[in-house]
């Protein structure tokens, strides 16, 4: 009888162990990121970067540590693009990390990992951004510190010098200042925090500091809403003209180019505006291109076709002005779930080249076609 009870107990224990094991396997499979080991999609040859090189330009995309953990992302980024832009980690504070935890402390742990990926894949790096006056990306110790004007300028110089010295020779371009002019024009909140504290003088100061920190890097003044003639581009044209006369080392204008599918400019409008900056000796970098399809009417197929056409038209503007002026066309990420629009409640913006499951969209093939001259 005792032996029989022992056998029953063993059988029950074995059954429970088996059920627990199966449940664990199911749980892990359900919760494991499906993209950690899955290869990227099969894309046509030659890759975008080779087609771009034939036209005298380069194409790039944003890379953040979060997505570098997904194999399809790294496969596409390294095979299709000439360079990468580091997204997020350069901000003084960003999501789950802080680049500058205190006035006298830097934490380069996350940044170093992205630079390691770039080095391993022999990809040039754009560092974006040195200074961005969106207060939500600035640490509390800075915004509540009641620093004097001289102290703030010293903090800027220390930041730019520390970063520039650390990555000297590994960064090809810096967006030194981001969104100073568009935020200057905004009414209400979300103004340029640096501009409120210091006025436009801080822009001059930042570029001079950046030139000292890394003399060989291209220094970019970046903003949105400046791809056509208008209030923002006019302000920037006037500022850059006068800054260059003062000897401020601004090498290039960064056009973010967040285009709306409901109100996209024409190729001709963009080229006309680019020519104004070409005439004062400034290069053009397309830094954050995407096409927001929120509130665009039509079927999914019609919206895909419209988005693809806009991608082609804006890339054509860069090609038309010529590679001596516009040699650099950067996309703000690869997959739709990476888009910044998701963070502001526009989950249907779907602005990028690939769907969230890495399926290439018609926009990807239109970029290829435009580079091929079709």
Convert the pLDDT of each residue in 147-197 to its tens digit.
999 999 999 999 999 999 999 999 999 999 999 999 998 767 779 999 999
CA distance 237 to 227: 12
CA dihedral 261, 357, 69, 131 (to 10 degrees): 10
Please state the pTM of the whole predicted model: 0.89
Q: Do 308 and 362 form a contact (C-beta atoms < 8 A)?
A: yes
pLDDT at 24 over 60: no
Q: Return the DSSP state at 68.
A: G
Check whether residue 139 and residue 15 sit in a common domain: no
Please check whether residue 166 lies inside any domain of the structure: yes
Select the more confidently predicted residue: 190 or 75.
75
Please check whether residue 122 lies inside any domain of the structure: yes
Q: How confident is the model at residue 125 (pLDDT cuts 50, 70, 90)?
A: very high
> What pLDDT shows up at residue 109?
93
Please check whether residue 225 lies inside any domain of the structure: yes
Check whether residue 72 and residue 186 sit in a common domain: yes
Check whether residue 170 and residue 238 sit in a common domain: yes
Check whether residue 184 and residue 313 sit in a common domain: yes
Check whether residue 202 and residue 242 sit in a common domain: yes
Check whether residue 21 and residue 102 sit in a common domain: no
Check whether residue 121 and residue 203 sit in a common domain: yes
CA distance 301 to 263: 19
Strands 252-255, 258-260: parallel, antiparallel or unpaired by DSSP?
unpaired
The residue segments making up the domain with residue 20 are 1-32
Q: What is the 3-state secondary structure of 277-309?
A: HHCCCCEEEEEEEEEECCCCCCCHHHHHHHHHH
Contacts of 160 by beta carbon, 8 Å cutoff, 6+ apart: 130, 131, 176, 206, 209, 210, 213
Specify which residues 61 forms β-bridges with.
84, 331
Please check whether residue 318 lies inside any domain of the structure: yes
Summarize the confidence of residues 261-290 as an average pLDDT.
98
Percentage of residues of the chain with pLDDT beyond 90: 83
Summarize the confidence of residues 184-213 as an average pLDDT.
92
Q: Do 72 and 35 form a contact (C-beta atoms < 8 A)?
A: yes
Summarize the confidence of residues 203-228 as an average pLDDT.
98
Check whether residue 94 and residue 234 sit in a common domain: yes
Mean pLDDT for the chain overall: 91
Please check whether residue 108 lies inside any domain of the structure: yes
DSSP-based three-state secondary structure for 363: helix
Check whether residue 2 and residue 68 sit in a common domain: no
Select the more confidently predicted residue: 189 or 295.
295
Out of 58-62, 95-99, 152-156, pick the least confident: 95-99
The runs of H, that is alpha helices, within the chain are 2-31, 48-54, 71-80, 109-120, 140-143, 149-166, 180-185, 193-198, 201-213, 231-245, 267-278, 300-321, 362-372
Total domains in the fold of the chain: 2
Please check whether residue 37 lies inside any domain of the structure: no
pLDDT at 89 over 90: no
The enclosing domain of 162 has a CATH number of 3.20.20.80
**Interior/surface letters 300-312, b for 16+ CB within 10 angstroms, e for the rest:** eeebbebbbbbbb
Check whether residue 134 and residue 21 sit in a common domain: no
Check whether residue 12 and residue 69 sit in a common domain: no
The count of residues in the chain is 374
Check whether residue 28 and residue 76 sit in a common domain: no
Percentage of residues of the chain with pLDDT beyond 70: 90
Q: How confident is the model at residue 34 (pLDDT cuts 50, 70, 90)?
A: low
The neighbour count for residue 96, using CB atoms within 10 Å, is 8
Select the more confidently predicted residue: 350 or 20.
350
């Amino acid at each position: 009888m005792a032996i029989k009870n022992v056998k029953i107990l063993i059988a029950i224990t074995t059954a429970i162990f088996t059920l627990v094991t199966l449940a664990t396997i199911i749980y892990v499979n359900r919760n494991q990121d499906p993209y950690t080991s899955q290869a990227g999609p099969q894309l046509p040859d030659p890759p975008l970067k080779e087609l771009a090189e034939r036209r005298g330009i380069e194409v790039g995309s944003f890379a953040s540590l979060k997505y570098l953990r997904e194999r399809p992302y790294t496969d596409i980024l390294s095979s299709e693009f000439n360079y990468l832009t580091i997204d997020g980690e350069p901000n003084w504070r960003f999501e789950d990390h802080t680049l500058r935890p205190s006035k006298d402390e830097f934490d380069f742990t996350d940044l170093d990992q992205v630079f390691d990926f770039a080095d391993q894949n022999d990809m040039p790096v754009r560092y974006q951004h040195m200074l961005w006056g969106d207060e939500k990306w600035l640490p509390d110790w800075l915004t509540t510190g009641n620093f004097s004007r001289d102290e703030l300028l010293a903090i800027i110089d220390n930041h730019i010098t520390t970063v520039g010295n650390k990555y000297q020779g590994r960064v090809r371009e810096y967006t030194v200042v981001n969104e100073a002019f568009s935020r200057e024009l905004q009414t209400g909140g979300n103004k340029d925090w640096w501009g409120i504290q210091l006025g436009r003088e801080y822009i001059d100061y930042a570029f001079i500091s950046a030139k000292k920190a890394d003399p060989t890097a291209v220094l970019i003044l970046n903003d949105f809403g400046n791809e056509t003639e208008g209030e923002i581009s006019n302000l920037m044209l006037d500022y850059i003209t006068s800054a260059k006369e003062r000897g401020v080392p601004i090498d290039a204008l960064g056009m973010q180019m967040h285009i709306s599918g409901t109100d996209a400019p024409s190729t001709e409008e963009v080229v006309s505006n680019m020519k104004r900056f070409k005439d004062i000796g400034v290069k053009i970098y397309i830094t954050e291109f995407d096409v927001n399809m929120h509130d665009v009417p039509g079927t999914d197929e019609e919206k895909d076709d419209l988005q693809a056409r806009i991608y082609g038209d804006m890339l054509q503007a860069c090609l038309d002005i010529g590679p001596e002026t516009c040699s650099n066309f950067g996309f703000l990420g690869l997959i739709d779930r990476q888009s910044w629009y998701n963070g502001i409640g526009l989950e249907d913006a779907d602005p990028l080249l690939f769907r969230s499951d890495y399926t290439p969209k018609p926009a990807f093939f239109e970029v290829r076609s435009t580079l091929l001259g079709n």
